[in-house]
Homo-oligomer: A and B are copies of this chain.
Amino acid sequence: MASNRRPGTAEQPRTGTSSGRPTSRDVARRASVSQATVSLVLGGKWEGRVSPRTAETVRDAAQALGYRPNLSARSLRLGRTRTALLVVPALTHDYFARVHAGASRIAAEHDFGVVLYPSPEGIGPAVDPFGSARAALDGVIASSMAPDALAALREGGLPLVMLDTDPEGDRAVATVNLDIADGMRQVAGHLLGLGHRRLAHLAAAVDTWTFGVRAHSLAQAVALEPGAELRTEPSDLSVEDALRGATRALTADPRPTAVICDDDLLAAGACKAARRLGLRVPEDVSVTGFDDLSLATALEPELTTVRLPAEAVGAAGMRALLDVLAGREANAPVLPVQLVRRGSTAEPPSES
């Protein structure tokens, strides 16, 4: 007879003071009922099947022992883990922190957990998110990922909800998107309406759907305005590189009167560049951001930018995943975005 490491808890006296964490059997013994009854009561599905008196006893015993169910065991038994993986490009960017908050909120409401996987950029995308997450997962939500990074995620065989990603081509079970194109249109409309005609686009040098749309939508909007011109300057997604890119843009001749940035981070760099060139924002040059990070209002002047409902995106993503897991149809909304006019934009200088 093969004896395992732990030689069977059978001989334990009913005092129940077993060595490790108390199990449902400990609770059962203490309440003098069966394990099944404990499960029923603590699982909240006892009504009409267990007498209220017994239920009370069980709850007391659980309380007294400090019982907490073993989630591994439950997951194993149930075949589901009530846990989702949220994959984001970076956590330091507070858009993603807010997406996470939204997803977590909805998850918690449905007794789900969210584990985060900040896809390592520097280390290369070859890392296995499923292995690294080290959690048993029911589904995956991925935000703003590059196409090749998404490929790895689809391998998992788990339901995949994509956020802020090209809805075509990749068959996720659902895609929650932002109306990025409209956001950029609002930016262009705002600046053109103020009278700007020489525009610079400080464009994020990142190959994702969201930035592609920004570039395309902006170009289109400007093309529709006679006499307006647009120059594009690429930049890494960092203040430092944006400073360089914006400096190039602002030292062009003739100088643009407005710099449209793909991200608030870039806009911060643009503001720095302007100030270092002795230009005032917004009197000499207008600057716009995108995302409405907390950074946008930390700057002076505050950034005119496009507010993305990050929390709502995360929430909608989680809801979509829950729908799919429950066998329901997931709806894949496109969430509206809104221009927020603040201090960094104004009419162009009179003698442009």
Give A contacts to B, CB under 8 Å: 20-21, 66, 68, 70-73, 75-76, 79, 81-83, 91-92, 94, 97-98, 100-101, 104, 108, 111-113, 115-116, 118, 130, 132-136, 157, 239-240, 265, 268-269, 271-272, 275-276, 294-295, 297-300
The CA-CA distance from A331 to B265 in the complex, in Å, is 38
The CA-CA distance from A104 to B91 in the complex, in Å, is 12
Most buried by B among A70, A240, A265, A294: A294
Interface pair A116/B113, CB less than 8 Å apart: no
Interface pair A265/B135, CB less than 8 Å apart: no
Task: Kindly report how many copies of this chain are found in the complex they form together.
Answer: 2
The CA-CA distance from A298 to B269 in the complex, in Å, is 7
The CA-CA distance from A258 to B256 in the complex, in Å, is 37
The CA-CA distance from A268 to B299 in the complex, in Å, is 7
The CA-CA distance from A98 to B90 in the complex, in Å, is 10
Interface pair B136/A71, CB less than 8 Å apart: yes
Q: List 14 A-B contacts (CB under 8 A).
A: A21-B157, A72-B73, A76-B76, A83-B134, A83-B135, A111-B134, A115-B115, A239-B294, A265-B298, A268-B298, A268-B299, A269-B298, A276-B300, A299-B299
Interface pair B297/A240, CB less than 8 Å apart: yes
| Given A272-B300, A298-B295, A300-B275, also A68-B130 (CB < 8 A) | yes
The CA-CA distance from A118 to B116 in the complex, in Å, is 12
Residue of B with least CB distance to A271: B300
Interface pair B115/A294, CB less than 8 Å apart: no
Interface pair B298/A136, CB less than 8 Å apart: no
The CA-CA distance from A135 to B71 in the complex, in Å, is 7
Q: Nearest-CB distance from A324 to chain B (Å)?
A: 16
Q: Nearest-CB distance from A289 to chain B (Å)?
A: 11
Q: Nearest-CB distance from A1 to chain B (Å)?
A: 17
Interface pair A73/B76, CB less than 8 Å apart: yes
Instruction: Collect the chain B residues with CB atoms within 8 Å of residue A71's CB.
Output: 72, 134-136
Interface pair A294/B136, CB less than 8 Å apart: no
Instruction: Collect the chain B residues with CB atoms within 8 Å of residue A118's CB.
Output: 100-101, 104
Instruction: Collect the chain B residues with CB atoms within 8 Å of residue A66's CB.
Output: 157
Instruction: Collect the chain B residues with CB atoms within 8 Å of residue A108's CB.
Output: 132
Instruction: Collect the chain B residues with CB atoms within 8 Å of residue A73's CB.
Output: 72, 76
The CA-CA distance from A101 to B71 in the complex, in Å, is 26
Q: Nearest-CB distance from A168 to chain B (Å)?
A: 26
